[in-house]
Each structure stands twice: as structure tokens, then as C-alpha cells.
Chain A
């Protein structure tokens, strides 16, 4: 299949369409507005739906209404916009509807900045919205991977009847890379007649469906949460994805890094290798479920002295890395979150400092 040179933001839109999602609701926000602009032109070409909502708050609920009728839907936004969508995300998770969200992360907190960041790790994996819910969170490291993850997101969302979130950053959104749209990732939508409000006539049924998240009876609400939790436990068993980089040899330090930051770390690792210094890396591709075991196994290698989480934030993923390592090795953090992407040399300096300790 031929490769096309595409900008990340546009590839996200095209990937959704190739995955059979013909419904896109969004609000402009830097640095992902190009997705909406691409979809505004492209959706009419495929007889799809494009709506620019009046705010991310409204968009979150347009997604909910459409998802609750059983249609594949996607929205894209960036950090402050995702904060606004977080209430809707909690509702969608509570109501067990499939939907796909993409967060092209930018600097925060508050208005923050418009340059890349990884400051929404907590927001994506530990909440953002209220209540006991989890999102299946995937973190691509480039345009090809974001295409694959967007295409996988729809069947995954349907498998678990849960929202799926893909976290990129401003760099991935803006960069242009050659992209191939794989054939084998398109999965037909599941039948949603058991729960969706797609009209009794559509289902040929006399029973109506209600999509809700309110359970006033405490036992009912507890049972409902147990149902949700069971899905998250299943995700932990079946959906952990990660890449192990240079972990075959005797590395002295284990880096844990994801997304754009992981590409910089790979360069640093390659550079240090030429100087005879072995560094290994685990790159989580799913932030939830998190590859706890893979990181722990990699951390306790005899040669490994220390673990460092390198992320464009003030230290969010590092807490999960500490949880993975369980005190078996010292865990530290390095990062920047103003929008500067740390350079390979900076990474190398941090790693060397750990080796020398």
C-alpha cells in the first residue's frame, strides 16, 4: 500500500473515516484545529457529519448523544478543551457508551501554552472527570502510530462499551510523516440493539432502551460500578501495549518515556550506545492499562542501577513508574513542561548523572 505524506492532525481525521467513523463534532483549539478544518472539507466528501459545536462542553455532549444512539463518533481537542469535556466523559463512561477522544496536549495548567506537553497524564489516566471510571488511553509516538491507534480505538471502545482516549502532543499534531492506512484495522461496528437508543422501530422491538448513568439506589450504583470495574480489569489483562527498546543487553539505566519524548530518548540511547553506554527503555503505548509488570521486570535486571521517567510534565507518569518498580530501584524524573522538548543531549546528561551516582 502506498505511503502518503500527511500532517498528524489531518491523518487523525482521515484515520477515523477509514475506520468507519463518519461523525465528527469538534471545537477549534490550538494545536489541533487542523483536524476540524480537515474534517470540514473531508466529511462532506464521504457523506459524513461534521459539526463545529459552540464549546467543548457542548461537543462532549453531542458526542454522548450520538454515541448513545449507537453511531461511531470522534472528537479531538487539546488540554483545556479536554478539561471542559471531562464532565461529559464521566457521563459517557457511566452510561457505558463507546466514543473516541483525541487530546493533542499543550502546556498547562490554565491557559498555559500552545507548544507540546505531556501534562495531561493524570487527567487521562486518573480522572479528569468525577467518579470511578477509567479511559483506555493510548499514546502514539508519531503520525503512523496515531493513525493505527485511531483506527483501533473504535472497535476497542465498542468491545468495552467505554470511551477511548488517544493522547498526542502538539508536535505529533503538526509534524508531517509518511503514513500508511492499514486495511486490517477496520472492524465492523458491533450490534448495539441491546442498549442503544436507536429507535424501537430500528430494532424491531417493543422494548425501549434507556441510556443513563443515574442509580439512586446505593446497591444498584455499587453493582453498576462493579460492572465498570470488571471492564477495567479486563483491559488490564488484554490491552496492555508497550515497546521495549534496547532492553536485550545489560543496560545501566532504564528510561520510561512515551509519545514524542520517547523518540528523543531513542536518539539519546542510540548516541550513548556508540559510546559504549547501554541504556534501555520501556515505552508505554497504553497509559491505561499501564505496563506495570513490563517496567518492573525491566527495572530489576541486575545491570540496571536506576529508573528514570522522562516526560514533558512536572512528573506525572513517574508516580506510576514508582508503583511499578515497588522500591526495587531508585526512581527519578526529568522533564520540561513549558513547551520545550528536551534534547537528546539533555536526556543523556540526566542518564549519565544517574550512572555516576
Chain B
């Protein structure tokens, strides 16, 4: 009997450092599967963020650059402009992309830079130990909002797909999640579509993946999946926000 299922070539043999129940593992795998299926590993450059995925370059087997916090879209712009033939993706968390990197992501999307962003939204700063993120929910307790996020002083959580969709420049923007196999299948479809747009040179592509962080949410993985379904999905609505064809 032949091999019917294996680890993607684009994923390395390294043991990841992610917490039990972390959805980075699923996200990494989906990206790697897409890279294999599209046969692009040999001309792909990934850009790792500062966040839990700071060591992402150890887990993939394509060329990788390490960006400063929030700056991956600017680095991706640099690569894509000088080597348009390379396939470039940034992989960023909510602090990296929606806080310090807000300027870079909005402008890269607005310029229509032809790279792909994978946005891991888990409503908290993971690596630094659970501080409030721009995507933290109202009332959510974090180490820098110990009484729960007070929206009168910190504002409401930012919806990145919606925000980037207001830009006139054509793009592909979709939000999915990794909470169960049904959702994971849709997430993979979105990721594949994003890379296909890049391969065709069509537009900027952005896939937000609503994710969990059991460690910093102070919940078990199972509780985290439930909390995410109950609290995050009604706010961060899943679906397609923008496609290049409609412009």
C-alpha cells in the first residue's frame, strides 16, 4: 500500500515550542500543505514575526527572514519589489500586525503589494505573557487589563479584515478560524486561494485565522475552543470580505 498521508515537505522535523492546544501548529501545517500542493517551496520566502511564532523559521523548510515587531509587511514589500518572482508570505500575530505594525500592514495592503499575509488573531499577546492586544475583547482579563478590558479608555477591539476591506485597492481578504475540522477545511481553502492569487500576480492577499491561546486565556484547550466560538466568532465574523474580481 502506498503512502496516503505524510508530513508536508514544507514542514521541518523540528519539535515546535508551542503550548499544548495552540493553534499555531495547525496554521503552520496548513500553510505547509498549501506550499507543497502548489509546488512553490523552492521559490518561497516566509517572514517570521515577533511573537510566539518568532521561531517559525525553524518549522518550515523554505527560505525565511526574521522581521522586527510589526515590520514584516515592509520587509515583504522589499522582497517582492526586487524579486517579484519569489512567493512571499508574512505570518503575524495580533500585536505584531494590529498594534505596532498597523502602519505597515495598511500601507502594504493599500499599495497592493503582491504578497500574502497570514494573521493569527488570538486576542492577546502570547509570547510576552498575556498582555492586552488591539483585538482583546471588552471585559477580557489580560495582564495589562487585569480588571477586564475597559473600552472607555482603551477603545473597542479592531477588526482587521473589515478595516483593510475599506481600502480601494483590489485585494483578497478573508477570515476563517481553526476551532474544529469543519472550520479548518475552510481555512485551508482560504490559504490556498490567497497563494493562488499571489502566484497569478493578481493582488495582495490577507487571511485572518481566529485562533486560541489557552495558556494566556487561563483556560484549558477545550474551554478555549468553546470561549472562542462563543465570544470571538460573533465579533470576528467569518467569511470573504473582499475579492479582487469585484473591483
Contact = CB atoms under 8 A, between A and B. Distances in A.
A61 B71 contact: yes
A88 B57 contact: no
A95 B41 contact: no
B95 to A, nearest CB: 16
Contacts of B107: 53-54, 58
Interface residues of B, number: 32
Nearest to B46: A197
A57 interface: yes
B81 A61 contact: no
A214 B57 CA distance: 11
Interface residues of A, number: 39
A65 B103 contact: no
Interface string B75-105: 1111101110110000000000000000110
A199 B74 CA distance: 19
A88 B64 contact: no
A197 B63 contact: yes
Contacts of B212: none
A65 B79 contact: yes
A49 B78 CA distance: 10
A71 interface: yes
Contacts of B64: 197, 208-212
Contacts of B85: 199
A1 B237 CA distance: 66
A4 interface: no
A82 B91 CA distance: 27
A69 interface: yes
Given A51-B77, A61-B104, A211 B66 contact: yes
A64 B72 CA distance: 10
Nearest to A197: B63
Contact of A197 (B65, B77, B81): B65
A267 to B, nearest CB: 43
Given A23-B81, A51-B77, A65-B75, A87 B65 contact: no
A180 B54 CA distance: 47
A61 B74 contact: yes
A201 B76 contact: no
A172 B190 CA distance: 52
Interface string A71-112: 101000000000000011001000100000000000000000
Interface in A170-219: 197-202, 208-214
Given A57-B103, A65-B65, A65-B76, A200 B82 contact: no
B60 to A, nearest CB: 8
Contacts of A59: 74
Interface string A1-28: 0000000000000000000000101000
B82 A66 contact: yes
B187 interface: no
A201 B78 CA distance: 19
A198 B83 contact: yes
Given A68-B79, A88-B68, A199-B44, A208 B74 contact: no
Contact of A210 (B44, B63, B86): B63
B62 interface: yes
Interface string B30-43: 00000000000111
B47 interface: yes
Given A73-B82, A208-B61, A62 B77 contact: yes
B67 interface: yes
A74 to B, nearest CB: 12
Contact of B83 (A58, A63, A199): A199
A168 to B, nearest CB: 24
B74 A65 contact: yes
A296 B112 CA distance: 55
B88 to A, nearest CB: 8
A55 interface: yes
B65 A212 contact: yes
A173 B107 CA distance: 29
Nearest to A205: B42
A25 B107 CA distance: 14
Contacts of B103: 54-55, 57-58
B63 A49 contact: no
Nearest to B107: A54
Contact of A65 (B42, B43, B78): B78
B32 to A, nearest CB: 13
Contacts of B53: none
Nearest to B100: A57
A63 B78 contact: yes
B104 A54 contact: yes
Contact of B47 (A49, A65, A87): A65
Given A62-B78, A199-B42, 17 more contacts: A51-B77, A58-B71, A58-B74, A61-B68, A63-B78, A65-B47, A65-B78, A69-B82, A69-B83, A71-B83, A91-B68, A197-B64, A198-B83, A200-B41, A208-B64, A210-B57, A211-B65
Interface of A: 23, 25, 49, 51, 53-55, 57-69, 71, 73, 87-88, 91, 95, 197-202, 208-214
Interface of B: 41-45, 47-48, 54, 57, 61-68, 71, 74-79, 81-83, 85-86, 103-104, 107
22 contacts: A23-B81, A54-B103, A59-B74, A60-B71, A60-B74, A61-B74, A61-B75, A64-B67, A66-B81, A67-B78, A68-B65, A68-B79, A69-B83, A69-B86, A95-B66, A199-B42, A200-B62, A208-B63, A210-B63, A210-B66, A212-B64, A212-B66
